DNA sequence: GCAAAAGTGTTCCAGATACACCCATGT
DNA sequence: ACATGGGTGTATCTGGAACACTTTTGC
């Protein structure tokens, strides 16, 4: 199994997950710092080698839960990365996934192989091993694109939220200001969210009506 | 490497390619009939096991060339399929690709491991092994979707073509009639094709002007 | 009463749609 | 001259973009 350079020459498959959330009005990615070999003390994407009888989706889900304690969130296959030189220690194909976590809902906790987990802004990422930066970048592009033609943004929302909360999510991901009236008109016309009877009072201003998504967990195509 | 059921329990990665073309005014898929084991005499997607030092894209390209003689065409990664039970003989993850071949340009020829190659209409596919039917279906959805927001249809065109030829391609893939004037207006406005000085004379009617794509080989996002 | 965010409608413009007739050729 | 597919323009509709003031609360 080892060739004469000490390199394992069997093929392995891993799943790696780019976890996005919006914290402190910023789009962030969840990274873990591994305590074990081969990458001691370096921040990397949560991930795992694929079990011999394990489904790809299940592997990504498990990697996410084991490494970060996050579960029950939107998770979708992104792309497979397989340059022979991407990992110098071994030949590993990475089937990458991305996940969206509702803002401030989950407190990720390090798994038993991890030193720490942490949220990082996209423009403040630490050095990442292998092609993890390319994976993050591909996931970011996918997220931006899907915002335009699907209800993917709802996956960032807690069970109830205000229209301003939702608009903030769009503005942060698209990195541009949106018109409040047009945004509300479009969202309400899409028939994907509904008003609750509740309002949120905070600060010294008019309370905001709370909404909920009509089909939580489902990402639908719109337009 | 073999367990006591005679099943190889190492993980393997394959690339499989869904090749589309438009022949006889129909969207067709290219299949190969394997002469060797394990699938003797059954039609399947062209594909290959990934070499230990081979890039995924290179593997798909090679599989396509080896199995069908097709090369130099549009080829893009589609999705990775990895259900543990998808292949009962071995644990194989398939990284699927799809390719588009210009109509009537290439004459596919069987590779040395193949019995035959053939084009099949999507609603006239033979029984396919593993999850190849699901892979074809996923590729078909991708193709339909990309037609709307990219110049992917140009990949089906020969070097020069008439606007009616191009409209036929759209109508076949979308399976609906399009308005001739609106189609021409939109295509010409997109600034992606240009008129040549040539015309094509066939049949007893006015000759049609031939066009060419401005950026052949590139698939651009439009709209 | 003032500061702060919530909430609400109309006009304008651009791009998509619907639609019918003349043109150039071969036989 | 006629049959065949090639080629063209205008009116209408619809969805997106721009834009400013009133409301409700806390202090």
Q: Quick: pLDDT tens for B148-175.
A: 999 999 999 999 999 999 999 999 999 9
What is d(CA B27, CA B34) in angstroms, rounded to the nearest whole number?
23
Q: What single-letter DSSP state applies at residue B2?
A: B
- Residue in the block written with tokens 């600034």: B191
Q: Are A108 and A28 in contact (CB under 8 A)?
A: no
The pLDDT value given to residue B115 = 81
Choose the closest CB to A82 out of B12, B55, B82: B55
| 3-state secondary structure (DSSP) of residue A172 | helix
Q: From the CA of B40, how many Å to the nearest CA of chain A? A: 26
The pLDDT value given to residue A113 = 75
As a whole number, mean pLDDT of residues B33-49 equals 84
CB contact under 8 A, A11 and B11: yes
The pLDDT value given to residue A167 = 98
What is d(CA B101, CA B153) in angstroms, rounded to the nearest whole number?
10
CB-strand contact A141/C, under 7 Å? no
The pLDDT value given to residue A15 = 98
- Kindly tell me if the per-residue pLDDT of B36 is higher than 80: no
The pLDDT value given to residue A36 = 67
pTM reported for the whole predicted model = 0.93
Angle at A31 between CA A132 and CA A109, to 5 degrees: 150
Q: Which nucleotides of chain D are near protein (any atom < 7 Å from a CB)?
A: 3-10, 16-20, 23-27
CB-strand contact A209/C, under 7 Å? yes
Phi then psi dihedrals of residue A212, to 5 deg: -135, 160
Q: Which residues from the 167-186 window of protein chain B have CB within 7 angstroms of nucleic acid chain C?
A: 179-182, 185-186
Q: From the CA of B209, how many Å to the nearest CA of chain A? A: 35
Phi then psi dihedrals of residue B58, to 5 deg: -65, -35
Q: Are B91 and A53 in contact (CB under 8 A)?
A: yes
Give the closest residue to B108 by CA, choosing from B121, B99, B100, B117. Answer: B117
Phi then psi dihedrals of residue B141, to 5 deg: -60, -45
Q: What are the chain A neighbours of B56 within 8 Å (beta carbons)?
A: 80-83, 93
What is d(CA B220, CA B223) in angstroms, rounded to the nearest whole number?
10
Q: Are B195 and B208 in contact (CB under 8 A)?
A: no
The pLDDT value given to residue A142 = 97
- Residue in the block written with tokens 């394997």: B34
As a whole number, mean pLDDT of residues B207-211 equals 98
- Residue in the block written with tokens 């990615």: A29
The pLDDT value given to residue A2 = 43
Percentage, residues of chain B above pLDDT 70: 93
pLDDT block averages, 10 residues each, chain A of length 223: 52 97 95 77 94 97 95 97 94 97 79 85 95 98 95 96 97 96 96 96 96 95 87
- Pairing verdict, β A47-49 and A208-213: unpaired
CB-strand contact A182/C, under 7 Å? yes
Q: What are the chain A neighbours of B223 within 8 Å (beta carbons)?
A: none
- Pairing verdict, β A90-100 and A8-23: parallel
A167, β-bridge pairs: none
Q: Are A196 and A207 in contact (CB under 8 A)?
A: no
Task: Give A3-54 as a DSSP string.
Answer: -TTS-EEEEEEEEEEEEEEEETTEEEEEEEEE-SSSSTT-EE--EEEPPTT-
The pLDDT value given to residue B105 = 65
Task: Give A73-141 as a DSSP string.
Answer: SEEEEEEEE--TTS-TTEEEEEEEEEEE--TTT------TTEEEEEEEEGGG----STTHHHHHHHHHH
Q: From the CA of B52, how many Å to the nearest CA of chain A? A: 7
As a whole number, mean pLDDT of residues B14-20 equals 98
Sign for the CA dihedral angle at B156, B161, B166, B168 comes to negative
Chain B within 8 Å of A50 (Cβ-Cβ)? yes
Element (H, E) at B115: strand B114-121
The pLDDT value given to residue B53 = 95
Residue nearest to nucleotide C20 (CA to C1'): B181
């Amino acid at each position: 199994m080892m060739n004469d350079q000490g390199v394992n020459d069997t093929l392995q498959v891993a799943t790696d997950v780019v976890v996005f959330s919006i914290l402190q009005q910023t789009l962030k990615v969840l990274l873990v710092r591994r305590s074990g070999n081969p990458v001691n003390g370096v921040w990397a994407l949560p991930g795992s080698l694929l079990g011999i009888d394990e489904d790809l989706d299940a592997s990504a889900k498990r990697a996410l839960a084991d490494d970060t304690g996050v579960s029950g969130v939107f998770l979708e296959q992104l792309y497979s990365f397989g340059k022979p030189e991407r990992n110098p220690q071994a030949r590993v194909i990475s089937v990458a996934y991305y996940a969206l976590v509702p803002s401030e809902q989950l407190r990720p906790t390090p798994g038993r192989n991890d030193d720490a987990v942490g949220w990082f802004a996209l423009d403040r990422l630490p050095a990442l091993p292998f092609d993890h930066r390319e994976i993050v970048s591909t996931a970011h592009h996918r997220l931006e694109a899907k915002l335009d033609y699907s209800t993917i943004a709802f996956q960032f929302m807690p069970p109830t939220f205000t229209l301003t909360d939702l608009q903030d999510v769009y503005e942060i991901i698209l990195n541009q200001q949106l018109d409040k009236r047009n945004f509300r008109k479009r969202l309400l016309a899409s028939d994907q969210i509904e008003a609750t009877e509740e309002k949120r009072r905070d600060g010294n201003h008019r309370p905001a009506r709370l909404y909920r998504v009509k089909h939580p967990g489902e990402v639908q195509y719109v337009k």
